[in-house]
Structure 1
Amino acid sequence: MARGLSANVLLFNAIVERGFNQGDLSVADEVCAAKLSEHEYHAKKGLPGSEILKHQIQTARKNIEGLTLIVEDLIEDGEKVWARSKCTGTHRASGESIAVTLVDICRFENGKLVEHWGTYGSAS
């Protein structure tokens, strides 16, 4: 594993870098279990695992031009990865620059994302 990172951290980083930052939807097929329990308030419900993540990536990239996520803090505890990230870009509808803090908790089993909690707030 690169630089001593665990498999779960590498999977999380792939979601951030390939998925959200680059718009590569194939990452969802690679990392998501067929059944993904999504607890994020705004997440679309009733979709298969990888389709949930694809929808989140597409929605974020559609609404935020130049979307960039930077992981600022990351902790791994057993099968969970906890991260605090900064999201920046330009809100397409308003043209305003945005900077928000995201907090994600991802639970992995057997190399697949099986559960996610997420929230966001103002960045300081």
Structure 2
Amino acid sequence: MSESEKYRIEVEAIAEFVPGQSDPDENRYVFAYHITLTNTGEVPAQLISRHWVITDGAGKVQEVRGLGVIGEQPMLAPGQQFSYSSGSVLETPVGTMQGSYQMAAEDGHRFDAEIPAFMLAMPRVLH
């Protein structure tokens, strides 16, 4: 088995605009995002930290790093999923998020689980 098959976490993201917390007149656009991590590898692995790259529609980049997610550092057995929700605030009605989770396998091997880029967009802004 290859190392990439042994250590693999798939990440799915869904984002939504939160109109009740947004104020377009003040350039405040709030988005919720929902993440599901699935251990598709062969060994248990723990999420240690995160690194987000958030880019707004004007090209302004914000990087966020920290331990765990929502105060947790979940351990995922092979086949196990972990889901959580969080949010981001932009100064533009569109943007993107991407990044990685830093993982530690039960056998001590460390690896990154890539978070594919996903769109943050206020409805009816993109055609």
Name the TM-score, length of structure 2 as normaliser.
Answer: 0.30
Name the TM-score, length of structure 1 as normaliser.
Answer: 0.31
Larger radius of gyration: 2
- Comparing both structures, which one devotes a greater share of its residues to helix? 1
- Comparing both structures, which one devotes a greater share of its residues to strand? 2
